Structure 1
Amino acid sequence: MASLGKRGKPLQGQSREIIYNVYKYFVTEADRFKKNVDENVSSYFKKVQERVANATGISRRTLNNILNEVSTETHPTEIKFSTPKKGRPKKQFRLNMDDFDYDVVRRMVYDFHLRFNELPTIKSLKAKLSEAINYNGSEKTLRKILHEMGFRFTKMEDNRKVLMEKQDVSLKRMEYLDKIRKFRESGKNIVYMDESYIHTSHTKAKSWSDDKKKGVKKPISKGQRLIIVHAGNEKGFVPGAFLMYKSTDTTGDYHNEMNNHNYEKWLVNQLIPNIPSDSVLVIDNAPYHNKYVERPPNSNTIKQEMINWLNKHDIPVDPKLTKPQIYDIICQHKERYTEFSVDKILAEHGHTVLRLPPYHPDFNPIENIWSQLKGYVASKNVGMNLTTVKTLLTEKVNMIGTEEWKKVCDHAIKCENEHRSIQHGLDNYTDRLVINTADSDSELFESTDSEMEVIEN
């Protein structure tokens, strides 16, 4: 049984060793005073376990667990205390979900509200998603996915709970939709870009074979990985912007490979020279897109640095205010003075950055272009080596022209318009429910399984 502290957290091995050393010291002390003439003093020192519990703040039960571990050792003086559960592998549930699957999750929640006219539950959502995208995760994992996407259960006045998006999530989406509509109306050249990857083993799950049943056998290993970067719009790919290189990262996350340095290098050398002036570049929220030119203070910044930041931007502040009061002033102005490195580079060349709202790949046409590229590779990848995959990718990039790009851009615009109408429908729906926004059941989404870790492919 794990030894727990007062807050129910397992005690580290070093802490347990210290507690045991305190226990041994008190035992020695009790032996020294057991013949004390003062019976009250002697009886006090005999209460070893009670004294240890009071001195260390742990329970008697926890102390007994530690002592039981010692009693099972052959050489108690050489015991090495381990941390409970340390080294024990976490349960991992591998989800075969891509960006479009997350979009299906969001739309399914909307469908419950607007089409099915019923309140979605985790159980009912899981059943629908199993049919729609072959979702085979647990209810706990689905709860975590919804939480990360910005959904919360909120109580109504009749104590029923409704699953709705957080206000700031829907606000980001509507801000994006308003901005991109204005850019289009003003005739701006809008360019979509993205990064992706493909393994050398990428092929179809099934293939044709001859009478001898010798088909293309897919290797167990995923093989080497290629990082691909490109940009385009309804006029086609941006000439000269295609970047393709072998990944050397071993963590399994291609975002580690395309870091801020590599991305800015691609921007300056391959994208900016090849797009018209005064263009709008649509990007997602990858970490390397959001590197600060100057990181603004956060709540942990020391008080004087907060004051210095405010003074730098000519924002009045009374040094006698408390740190929380000063930080509140910073929060009121932070967004206006926050600048990202990518935005600065593009602004210096006369361009504008527009960031996609999280989990909305349907707004980015290049996501559908990636699907076409990967589908082409999968259908023709017989060699399954780096050279073959590079050749196939280059072939397909050269094959995709204005017609294909126009279709995916039109589809993105269609998705934008659908979301605009959906939002108004959701507003009317929530008004009918008369939600009591003061009573939020956010605890439903707190992790109840500390050993569950979701891994996305």
Structure 2
Amino acid sequence: MPTGSHFSVELKEVYFRIIKFVESEKSGPKIPLNNTTDRLLVMLNISRASLFRLKKEMEEQLNAKRSSRSSSLANFTPTTHRNRSSSQIRSLQREITVPVAKPPQIRGGNLPKTFSEEVENAIRHQFHVLLTKKVYPTVEILFNQLHAAYPDFPILSKTSLREYMHMLGFTFKQISNTKIPLEGIEIEAQRAIFYRKMGNLRSTGAHIFYHDETWSNASEEKRSIWFSDTGEGRSRKSDGKGARLAISAIIDQHGFHLPSVEIFNCTTDHNMDSEHFIKWIKSTSFRLRDEHGPNDRICIIIDNATWHSELTDDTKQGKRAWRKSEIQQWLIRHRIHFDPIMTKAELLELASINRPAKRYKVDEVAMQFDVEIVRLPTKHCEFNPMELVWAALKDYIRKNNVRFRLNDVYNLAAEFIAGFDEDAAKNAIQHARQVEHTFRTGDRFVEENVEPYLKDTDSDTEVELDIEDEV
């Protein structure tokens, strides 16, 4: 290779793997020399199918190049040429002709089962932004809107966007000659309930606190930094995430509620469970009631994490894993008549039909102190200002974390929380309320200007769209 060449990070990683593999065989081959396929798989770190596909593609190009060269050399008379290099390696390098690889095709490809929560939020948000502007959000318009708002949006074709919207619960309905996606009724109903509850809380002057949890690793660092020409610039030497902290807190328009902030080490995946959260909600509800007196209305907004949503024992549904006798006892406790000759499946069906309304342990504990719990609509974390707050906290940690010790991360998190002032809190809450207003306006537009003109079909299932060309 010529000196002075610049290689991409990915190419350097490939070269480095090959170097390490060759160096590891100083005392003898680890994989037999005649087993070329397995040796290449280890060196290149690719799958067997990818290796065969690469070889086939490159050989086809090489053969095409040789055939074109042979035709052009038919009338060529060679002249005497002296090879000035005595290096065997240089001679071998000349003999090996490497064709230029085809660039990967830009296409939608198979969708992953899930994208990040940010992608889902972006789709829902831009969908409602269009509705707020009284623009029908067809797939094409929504696709263009997403890529205009987020240049690195990961869904690269309109067909893939349509498929992913199906996965999120959107269905396609036809109005006149236009087919547009609409969200599922259950999601819209959850939002409507949330709007109504929040409107009531605000109109009565309630103390509204927003709760959320986040996690931070000892090795948090800035995502993008400058490197020198020698590769220097990064403080951290390894790519491991290190130990982890969990942070649980609430904010209102005045900032963090400092007495209830929790920062603790994680020993498992999240180290947060229903029992731990119920203890936290109990102590926090007690503090809030003590601070605001017996008459003020207090509410805590939480999301739908599993540890926030454990049902009370009397409202838990019978499960298939239960023994038949356990299901019978459940029916007896709920005063539901059943025939003793019923099978387990019949008993479970009967229990499902007579399932009582859900009640959550968290809500029951908070109500002991006359503190209300309101849940965000499913997958609508953008309604929670804590999302912006945690993003700012992690940015602060990454900027100032230079020793990558868990104790330093703890102190940096505590510093940020203590210094988070009233103006910052009001700005975060105002942003979340603006997002909420966008969704509310969009939902009203759908109800008043779209749904009355939907074409009635035999069923309420989705209307198939014509497959759109991928970009």
Fold-level similarity (TM above 0.5): yes
TM-score under structure 1 length normalisation: 0.64
Shift of 1:107: 2.3
Match of 1:216 among 234, 257, 273: 234
Structure 1 portions without partners, runs of 5+: 1-87, 445-457
Aligned to 1:106: 124
Q: Does 1:201 align with 2:219?
A: yes
**Conserved? CA contact 1:149–1:359, under 8 Å:** no
Q: Does 1:372 align with 2:397?
A: no
1:251-266 equivalences under 5 Å are: 254=269, 256-266=270-280
Q: Does 1:267 align with 2:286?
A: no
Aligned residues: CA RMSD: 3.9
| 1:384–1:143 distance in 2 versus 1, CA, 3 Å | farther
Residues 392-432 of structure 1: CA deviation (Å, up to 9, x unaligned): 11111110022221222233333333322221112123135
Match of 2:184 among 160, 166, 172: 166
Q: Tell me, in whole angstroms, the C-alpha distance in 2 between the residues paired with 1:94 and 1:382.
A: 36
**Conserved? CA contact 2:381–2:387, under 8 Å:** yes
Q: Percent identity?
A: 23
| 1:363–1:379 distance in 2 versus 1, CA, 3 Å | same
Q: Which 10-residue stretch deviates more, 429-438 or 101-110?
A: 429-438
Q: Tell me, in whole angstroms, the C-alpha distance in 1 between the residues paired with 2:126 and 2:340.
A: 51
**Conserved? CA contact 1:199–1:222, under 8 Å:** no
**Conserved? CA contact 1:201–1:219, under 8 Å:** no
Q: Tell me, in whole angstroms, the C-alpha distance in 2 between the residues paired with 1:312 and 1:369.
A: 45
1:312-331 equivalences under 5 Å are: 312-313=333-334
Aligned to 2:209: 191
Match of 1:341 among 353, 356, 361: 361
Residues 78-105 of structure 1: CA deviation (Å, up to 9, x unaligned): xxxxxxxxxx9xx995987444x43221
Q: Does 1:229 align with 2:248?
A: yes
| 1:301–1:382 distance in 2 versus 1, CA, 3 Å | closer
Q: Tell me, in whole angstroms, the C-alpha distance in 2 between the residues paired with 1:363 and 1:176.
A: 10
Q: Which 10-residue stretch deviates more, 320-329 or 430-439?
A: 320-329
Residues 328-352 of structure 1: CA deviation (Å, up to 9, x unaligned): 886676453x221211221223222
1:118-157 equivalences under 5 Å are: 118-121=136-139, 125-133=142-150, 134-137=152-155, 142-143=161-162, 145-156=164-175
| 1:119–1:231 distance in 2 versus 1, CA, 3 Å | closer
Shift of 1:156: 5.0
Q: Does 1:296 align with 2:317?
A: yes
Q: Does 1:279 align with 2:298?
A: yes
SS in 1 for 2:258: coil
**Conserved? CA contact 2:128–2:443, under 8 Å:** no
Residues 299-343 of structure 1: CA deviation (Å, up to 9, x unaligned): 99899877765664557889999999998886676453x221211
Shift of 1:228: 1.2
Q: Does 1:441 align with 2:462?
A: yes
| 1:198–1:187 distance in 2 versus 1, CA, 3 Å | same
**Conserved? CA contact 1:290–1:342, under 8 Å:** yes
SS in 2 for 1:441: coil
**What is the identity, as a one-letter code, of the residue corresponding to 2:216?**
I
| 1:412–1:113 distance in 2 versus 1, CA, 3 Å | closer
Shift of 1:196: 0.9
**What is the identity, as a one-letter code, of the residue corresponding to 2:306?**
P
Q: Tell me, in whole angstroms, the C-alpha distance in 2 between the residues paired with 1:187 and 1:332.
A: 40
Count, aligned residues: 345
Aligned to 1:240: 259
**Conserved? CA contact 2:131–2:442, under 8 Å:** no
**What is the identity, as a one-letter code, of the residue corresponding to 1:130?**
H
Q: Which 10-residue stretch deviates more, 180-189 or 315-324?
A: 315-324
| 1:328–1:169 distance in 2 versus 1, CA, 3 Å | farther
TM-score under structure 2 length normalisation: 0.62
Match of 1:416 among 436, 442, 445: 436
Structure 2 portions without partners, runs of 5+: 1-48, 50-109, 466-471
Shift of 1:145: 4.4
Match of 1:429 among 449, 452, 455: 449
Shift of 1:434: 2.2
**Conserved? CA contact 1:113–1:429, under 8 Å:** no
| 1:195–1:169 distance in 2 versus 1, CA, 3 Å | same
Aligned to 1:4: none
**Conserved? CA contact 1:364–1:412, under 8 Å:** yes
Q: Tell me, in whole angstroms, the C-alpha distance in 1 between the residues paired with 2:113 and 2:221.
A: 20
Aligned to 1:56: none
Shift of 1:149: 3.4
**Conserved? CA contact 2:393–2:413, under 8 Å:** yes
Shift of 1:150: 2.6
**What is the identity, as a one-letter code, of the residue corresponding to 1:164?**
L
Q: Tell me, in whole angstroms, the C-alpha distance in 1 between the residues paired with 2:182 and 2:378.
A: 16
SS in 2 for 1:161: strand
